[in-house]
Structure 1
Amino acid sequence: MPWNRPTHRLVDGERIDGSWCHVWVKGHSGYHVTDLFAYADGLLSCQETMDLQGLRRRLESGKIALTDPGRPAPERPEPVPRWTARYPEPLTNEGFLGEVADEIEALNGRPTTSDLCWDAIKRYQGEPVEANRLLVRDAYLAIPPHRRVFVLGDMDRQDIPLRKLTTDIGEPVCGDGPIATPEMHADVLEYFDSGDRGVRESREHLAVLHADDPAPPGAPTITLHERLNPPAEPPEQLDLFALRNEFPAPFTYNDQTYPTIIHGYWALAAADRPDHDRIQESATVREAHELGGRCTLRPDWPLIRTAVMTALLRAKFTQHPELAEILLSTADARISYTGYSESPFWTDRGPGKGRNWTGRLLELTRAELHTPTPTDRTSSPQSFSPHR
């Protein structure tokens, strides 16, 4: 069964994480699909609350079904030797109960039966003795049968290596396969060891390719929240608000002085000089923003706006050393620039909803401040002037 996340419920104000899958429930006019919810505290919900034993009773009674009873069962593949079968075992009520139990363990951050099987495999690799092989067998058999073919994540062999390893020497694999031998078990051990070598070599290669990534974790993400009524003058006590575009920090760019980044951005966006001047001279950030949004914009603005913003941020922070110190104090933290007044192109609004370009450009400006050059950073390589 495919499980979906996230979901949760609240109990006395505490969040209990959960997940859900589809099942069929018997009603007055037959079966219909609904959701079965499983929660970290072991509670299950499917039109009514229950625990695992309650789910067992409902499965046994037919009140809940795992497939549509009104449809014919899918045809099984042509019979093949069981030991080479590459399709899952049939989904049974008992297997599904084990799957639900695994899901509850996962919601609690505890190992599932598949995780425990891998732990046993690693123990056997470290010390390939009979006692550890038997631990692998017990852990493998504890996995719900319909999930065993997926435990190794091997599309070609599925769980065949485990079928071989868990068969006692002298016995046929799965009852209809070749006789298990010490050499067969040794081959399976080499299969796992070679997989580990492949993973290790891949990681070593990535470490070479990604050598420019810092080894220790970076500083925690810093979120810059919008202030709807920003002050007209810089406050005496500076904080991270100084990094916002609405912060009052007059700067000069291309021989023009702008009160804030917002003033400069929208003034330079204007297609006509009179609009530029009105925006530049606006008394407030809000007025500058709204004037800019109503005027005719330069036709090339979508193509150049990122470069313009880069140049304006450079000017602001190179001309205000005290603000540069605040930006440098963020170390290597990711900067999340939020808000609704500026467009999603510039702001961070969650996955798929905002591109956070202001945050990215602040990080770029920070990197440039760490590596000063004789070049005058108050302008970009190309100058952007209002149309006259």
Structure 2
Amino acid sequence: MYPDPDLDPDPELSRAAAELADWKFGEPESWITPELLVAEVRDTIDELNGRPDSTDRCLAAVDVFLADRTEENREAARAAFLAVPEPPRRFALGDMDRKDWPLRVLVAGPGGRTYLEFDGTVTQEKYDGALAYFEERARWNTQRANHVPADGPVTPHAPAIQLNHSYPGKRVADPGKLGLRHDYPAPITVADTAYPSVAHAYWALSVAERESRHTIAAAENAPAARTLAAWLPRREDWEHVRTAVMTHLLRAKYDQHPELAEVLLATDDATVIYDDVNSAFWVTTAARAATGRDACSSSCAPNCACGGRDLRRVNGPGGNRPPAIRSHGPGTRADGACASERPNTAPRVTIKDPVDHHPCTVSELFPRRR
């Protein structure tokens, strides 16, 4: 468009331009009127506020009419139907084949006419067909509401468990769910090296300088281990192996501390939400939340104290891909993570053990019970 109509060589035509060409529109038209736009905005506001929009109100009025088929109820259903903006009205039933045909015939009634001229007068046969459609739809909706997927309910039956960020200082006799945090002082031994916690081991193994790992492992607590590691360069392959490292360490933790494995399994199918103010990679988000059973399944070997239950839910039948343990962990931006980053967990034919670097196959690193 020319900003000044007086400068436009053809002011009656609107002008558009792209890098390789330009063109003119002779008689641009829009099928969306200001009234339709306002109606759709109103529906969006209702939806965002959790209120029924015009489509919901229409279907509710139709249900009232089907339950009590009076002319008064039909007229109310018709008014609610016509109040739905025309573009979404066509798909109010969510039926891509019939679209709104059953609705417009039902609310018009025998001898009536729909809002579309080409429908003509509604015959008794058409009306009976619309009634049959809604009866079948009601049966299908009932079956769908009562249907249970083959792998169980969509949502867990246990309430979510929040593992808030904390600074556990020393072991206690009964840590409860606090013991599920990776900075909880549950000593582990990996590759003949002792670590005060999973977090100590994670940060020690993250650095490139092997001589610095013992210093990090000897840190007073997990935050101190992270601080020491943050000042040192990461391993070159850290972004690719850190998920496998965490898996390895979690297996060691729950194998060497069966009482903590029982705590994790006791959470059943509750979503475990791990909070870590220093992490952009390991901290739980809505998309990363996992159940306690999943976390144990994905982090423990089949011969671990927890039995490696439901391992197939993570790796798949016969699969041996390293599971992506992202539901909780001691991570921080110091290990190169960012909020939008996705770890590389693609399967490899051979890899190096994340702890002592000797070459091994994926199946050797993640053995499965035969």
Q: TM-score, normalised by structure 1?
A: 0.59
Are residues 223 and 192 of structure 1, via their aligned partners in 2, closer, same or farther at CA, if it must alter by over 3 Å? same
Q: Which has the higher strand share?
A: 1
Which residue does the alignment assign to 2:55? 114
Which residue does the alignment assign to 1:221? 160
Which residue does the alignment assign to 1:286? 223
One-letter identity of the residue aligned with 2:134: F
Alignment check: 8 A CA contact 2:271 2:291 kept = no
| Counterpart secondary structure, 1:151 | coil
CA drift of 1:275 comes to 1.7
Q: How does 1:173-322 map to 2 (within 5 A)?
A: 173-174=114-115, 176-177=117-118, 178-193=120-135, 195=137, 207=148, 210-214=149-153, 217-227=156-166, 229-231=167-169, 233-322=170-259
Are residues 301 and 198 of structure 1, via their aligned partners in 2, closer, same or farther at CA, if it must alter by over 3 Å? same
Identity of aligned residues (%): 36
| Counterpart secondary structure, 2:235 | coil
* Structure 1 stretches lacking a partner, 5+ long: 1-72, 78-87, 374-379
Alignment check: 8 A CA contact 2:55 2:84 kept = yes
Alignment check: 8 A CA contact 2:271 2:290 kept = no
CA drift of 1:356 comes to 6.3
Which residue does the alignment assign to 2:276? 339
Alignment check: 8 A CA contact 1:164 1:173 kept = yes
RMSD value over aligned CA atoms? 4.2
Are residues 235 and 194 of structure 1, via their aligned partners in 2, closer, same or farther at CA, if it must alter by over 3 Å? same
**Deviation digits for residues 105-135 of structure 1, max 9, x if unmatched?**
6567554443232134345556767676455
Are residues 372 and 121 of structure 1, via their aligned partners in 2, closer, same or farther at CA, if it must alter by over 3 Å? same
Measured in 2, the distance between the counterparts of 1:239 and 1:110 equals 41
One-letter identity of the residue aligned with 2:59: W
| Counterpart secondary structure, 1:92 | helix
Alignment check: 8 A CA contact 1:347 1:357 kept = no
Measured in 1, the distance between the counterparts of 2:283 and 2:291 equals 6
Q: How does 1:112-151 map to 2 (within 5 A)?
A: 112-123=53-64, 133-143=74-84, 148-151=89-92
**Deviation digits for residues 200-222 of structure 1, max 9, x if unmatched?**
78789x85xx4123477421221
Which residue does the alignment assign to 1:169? 110
* Structure 2 stretches lacking a partner, 5+ long: 1-26, 310-321, 323-350, 359-370
One-letter identity of the residue aligned with 2:355: S
Alignment check: 8 A CA contact 2:262 2:306 kept = no
Q: How does 1:77-88 map to 2 (within 5 A)?
A: none
CA drift of 1:334 comes to 1.4
CA drift of 1:286 comes to 2.5
Is residue 2:355 matched to residue 1:385? yes
CA drift of 1:314 comes to 1.8
